[in-house]
Amino acid sequence: MTARLREHYDATVKPELMQSFSYGNAFEVPRLEKIVVNMGVGEAVADSKKIDSAAA
């Protein structure tokens, strides 16, 4: 997980969740465990340069 996403979650999302759900403790707020990014590159099967540019 990128540090930028973790900082945004800790600074913005977590306090909003604590307020909206009336959590009394920071450990009651759900944690981010795993983030998966899925990208379809179906037409890149024939051209390996497209795969390289998509991954960059």
Residue ranges per structural domain of the chain: 3-55
Between residues 17 and 32, the one the model is more confident about: 17
Task: State the pTM of this model.
Answer: 0.59
Residue 6 has pLDDT above 70, yes or no: yes
Angstrom distance (rounded) from CA 6 to CA 9: 5
Confidence of residue 5 (pLDDT cuts 50, 70, 90): confident
Q: What is the pLDDT of residue 36?
A: 80
Question: What average pLDDT does the segment 18-28 reach?
Answer: 95
Angstrom distance (rounded) from CA 37 to CA 33: 14
Residue 38 has pLDDT above 90, yes or no: no
Q: What is the pLDDT of residue 1?
A: 52
